[in-house]
Structure 1
């Protein structure tokens, strides 16, 4: 879905600037990072009509080599939005925020998913290592203590009927 939205933005830019749109050379891209890109998922992504807008890196999102690959990739773009949705422990999400939030462009967002875990009963976490007190929302709150360049944008979550990311829409304001 993200690739479709980016295609629409490319199309809108082409219309407003009078440029010819070359669908084979998109200006906007999606970079996905996953610790395990299963073969059937990779094949499905590569077979998708928007696959020329999607790049993938396999590895831990907090591994130094992966972080460096992402930073190198990001150097080619002026407008960056980051979505974090992997291991939901406090420690992991805080490391992701430290690695990737600085890449977010002014006025754009770092969206941290599953902050709702903080408000759920402990038993809902099952055998997962995260739960109330150890989750993305706690990492967001900790990160924001020393990063005034971001603020929680409650406007987005208040427009939604339901969200898994309450207090997880971090807007870069400086």
Structure 2
């Protein structure tokens, strides 16, 4: 079943947080080591705006099955057209091609928010995400060795990027 994107509303925040928290125990997706709360994520939510750094929910039928966000890359004006891209999917729908459907929609979303470059920060151990982004033309632009410690093991951070015309 196809998915759609909808700008997230504050009422979506508990679901967004739940989907995010599903990834923490694996220590493969996020650098958070403990679950976060809706209150802790409220300021992050409010930093997103439909005009420049949107946060969408991914809907399949009437169900929110994930979220996609563009976040500021670096707080200087010269980087205003570059953003970090994040995609999180509910564990119940992972491996069903939804990530590919979402990344197919990204170029159209960029034109409406004035962004030309996206960066994805992915742990080197998260091979499914690296494979997904590479499938959509993202190249490795950076590699930060052993910058995170997860389960008392060092983990590398891969930075994948893509320019959009």
* TM-score scaled by length of structure 1: 0.39
Higher strand proportion (structure 1 or 2): 2
The structure having more radius of gyration, on CA atoms, is 1
Higher relative contact order (CA closer than 8 Å, sequence separation 6+): 2
TM-score normalised by length of structure 2: 0.41
